[in-house]
Structure 1
Amino acid sequence: METTIVLAEDEPQLRALYVEWLRRSGFRVHEAADGGEALARVREVRPDLLILDLWMPVLNGLEVVEHLARTAEAVGLRIVILSHQDDADTRLEGFALGIADYWTKDITLTELIARIAMVLGSPSPGFEAEVEVDG
C-alpha cells in the first residue's frame, strides 16, 4: 500500500523540491500552498501523514492542527511541523496539540525520508477518536 502525504509549504521552490524527493522515494504526495488548502487536501485524500510549514497564509500550521483535532478526518492522521523556526515554546505548543514530531528545515532530504519512516512506523496512534462515556 502506497503511503499518502499532504505537504503544505507556501514557498513554491521548496515545496517543489520536497514533493519531487518524496515522489522519487515512493510516496503519493498532494501539495498545499497554504493552511486552507492543507485542510481541503486532508479532507479529500485522507493522507497517512501531513507535513506542515509553520508560517503559511490563510491558516498557520498550528491553526491547521487545531482545526483537524476537531474533525473525523484527522483520526489516525500523523502530523509533523516542518519549519525554519526552532524555539522550544513553539515545539511544545505543537506537541500539546498532538503533532507527531517537529522538524527544522535544515533537515537533509535523506534525513527527511528516514524521519517519515520513523513517524509512520512509530507506535503513537495519531489523533484519537473522542469517545463519550455515559455515566
Structure 2
Amino acid sequence: MGASIVLAEDEPDLRAIYAECLRRCGYVVWEAADGAEAATLVRSHRPDLLLLDHWMPVLNGLEVLEQLRDAREAIGLKVVMLTHQRDAETRLEGFALGVAAYWTKDLSLADLGSKIQTLLDHPAN
C-alpha cells in the first residue's frame, strides 16, 4: 500500500480531481470538505501527508494546523498548503505552524504527483 494523504479541499469538483490524481499515483486518500473534517481525519488515520487548502469552511487551513500542533497523531505529518493564497504574511504564519511547502492551485496534476513523491521521499530535517 502507498503512502496516505488527507486531502482537505472544500470545492467538490477540485477535490475529486485531486483525489483521483493522487489515487492513480498509488496513494491512499481520505477526503475532507472542511477544516474540522480534515483535523478529524488526521487524528483517526495518521496520514503521511496533509494536503490542505487555506480557505475552507468551519476551520481554515491555519486553524487546522493550530488544532493539530500538539496532537501526537500529527507527529511527523508533512503538511502542504495548496491554495490561491500568495501573500508572504500568510505563508510565514503557515511555515511557523509547520507547513513544509506552499503550492498554488495552478500546479499541473503531473507536477502535483511528482512534488508529493519528492516531499515524501525526503525525511523531515
2:42 aligned partner: 42
In the TM superposition, what is the alpha-carbon distance from 1:50 to its structure 2 partner?
A: 0.4
The code of the aligned residue for 2:26 comes to G
Provide the secondary structure at the position in 2 that maps to 1:123: coil
Count of equivalent residues? 125
Provide the secondary structure at the position in 1 that maps to 2:99: coil
2:13 aligned partner: 13
| Moved segments of 4+, more than 4 Å | none
Q: How big is the alpha-carbon RMSD for the aligned residues of Structure 1 and Structure 2?
A: 1.0
- Cα distance in 2 for residues equivalent to 1:85 and 1:75: 26
The code of the aligned residue for 1:41 comes to L
In the TM superposition, what is the alpha-carbon distance from 1:117 to its structure 2 partner?
A: 1.3
The code of the aligned residue for 2:9 comes to E
Q: Which ranges in structure 1 are unaligned for 5 or more consecutive residues?
A: 126-135
In the TM superposition, what is the alpha-carbon distance from 1:123 to its structure 2 partner?
A: 3.0
Q: Determine if the alignment matches structure 1 residue 101 to structure 2 residue 101.
A: yes
- Cα distance in 1 for residues equivalent to 2:117 and 2:90: 24
- Cα distance in 1 for residues equivalent to 2:40 and 2:49: 14
1:66 aligned partner: 66
2:116 aligned partner: 116
The code of the aligned residue for 2:94 comes to G
In the TM superposition, what is the alpha-carbon distance from 1:78 to its structure 2 partner?
A: 0.5
Question: Could you report, residue by residue, the CA deviation over 1:69-93 in whole angstroms, capped at 9, with x for unpaired residues?
Answer: 1111110110110001111111111
Larger radius of gyration: 1
Provide the secondary structure at the position in 1 that maps to 2:59: coil
Q: Percent identity?
A: 62
- Cα distance in 2 for residues equivalent to 1:123 and 1:103: 19
TM-score (norm 1): 0.89
1:78 aligned partner: 78
